[in-house]
Amino acid sequence: MYIEQGYKGLHEGWRYVVGVIAVFFGWQFIGGIPLVIALISKSGLDSLVTTPSGMSELLGANVFLFLMLLAFVFGILFLFIFVKYVHKQSFKSLTTSREKIDWKRIIFAFSLWSIVSILFILLDIYLSPDDYVLNFKFEKFLILAAIAIALIPIQTSMEEYFMRGYVMQGLGIAVKNKWIPLIVTSSVFGLLHIFNPEVQKLGYGILVFYIGTGFFLGIMTLMDEGLELALGFHAANNLTAALLVTADWTAFTTDSIYRDVSDPVLGWDVLVPVFIVFPILLFIFSKKYKWTDWKGRLFGKVMSKEEFLAVENGNPSEV
């Protein structure tokens, strides 16, 4: 009953509408001020229309990464403050339907996807060595590691708490079913990446990967009745990408260990994660955590507040 956890706070529709606007304001506008000031002071107003790789070159990769990720700190602060003081909802109920947050789930998902991601990257380097150059610079990498380890989990957590936490709970309570929140949050999550430099380089077909990833994370959240697995997976995905390999045309242009110098093309590697790897991961998670009733958890109805409170109070006969 993850979506129904929203009933543990004030859940009128207007609160969610104002909340979405407030979080976007804190994330995109307030959070973006330090980066804008740095760019203008460095190279004037023209720098504001520079590509991410150009901004990275202008400010230095580590400085740009820090300022870009700093925006997510403001975003998650605005979200948590709004949830606490406007919705009167607890951090725990925004995270999970369990009695307490399951950190073992976060660690397992993080560890599993870190290992898989590293193996995929190393395999690609082995099979296509001409596509990569060693980019390791000890001092710059140490700074990168400190920034990435401190801020990337905040960035990914902000996206998860906002899309598959706050918006999914609010939308589910409004429409009283689970499939509309799953479709909407997954699609919006993917489409929010439309301004990424990867889309400009590879075309709109890459959105299949982003939207597919959104559905994978959404299914995982609904089936597991909490955000823990999604939090761990998302942090591992972005952290390994930032530390191990980067390219001039990606959102994360960092002082990583390797640099991809190949001419990117949209190919099978976009479809394999969505249609092969992610289903395998869902199977692994389902066996480990004994998921059942896929139809009910993904397409079933969301209880009314009265029904939810009856179950919570140990009176399921009243449902």
pLDDT of residue 248: 81
Backbone angles phi, psi at 177, to 5 degrees: -145, 175
Strand ranges inside 51-143, DSSP E: 132-134
Q: What is the mean pLDDT of residues 225-245?
A: 97
Contact assessment for residue 63 and residue 119, using Cβ atoms and an 8 Å cutoff: no
Q: Closest by alpha carbon to 167, among 185, 141, 143? A: 185
Read off the pLDDT of residues 61-85 as tens digits, 9 standing for 90 and up. Answer: 999 999 999 999 999 999 999 999 9
pLDDT of residue 316: 57
Residue 99 parent element (H or E): none
| Tokens 């995929």 sit on residue | 120
User: Is residue 222's pLDDT more than 80?
Assistant: yes
Please, which pLDDT band fits residue 315 given cuts at 50, 70 and 90? low
pLDDT of residue 280: 97
Q: What is the mean pLDDT of residues 10-24?
A: 96
pLDDT of residue 274: 94
Higher pLDDT, 46 or 190: 190
279 Cβ neighbours under 8 A, 6+ residues apart: none
Strand ranges inside 160-200, DSSP E: none
**Kind of pairing between the strands at 258-260 and 245-246:** parallel
Q: What is the torsion angle, in degrees rounded to the nearest 10, for the CA atoms of residue 178, residue 16, residue 233 and residue 208?
A: 70
User: Is residue 311's pLDDT more than 70?
Assistant: yes
Task: Tell me the three state secondary structure of residue 300.
Answer: coil
pLDDT of residue 318: 54
User: Is residue 104's pLDDT more than 90?
Assistant: yes
The structural domains of the chain, with segments of one domain joined by +, span: 3-318
Read off the pLDDT of residues 260-279 as tens digits, 9 standing for 90 and up. Answer: 998 888 877 788 999 999 99
pLDDT of residue 49: 66
Contact assessment for residue 106 and residue 221, using Cβ atoms and an 8 Å cutoff: no
Q: In this prediction, what percent of the chain has a pLDDT beyond 70?
A: 97
pLDDT of residue 217: 98
Question: What is the CB neighbour count within 10 angstroms for residue 28?
Answer: 12
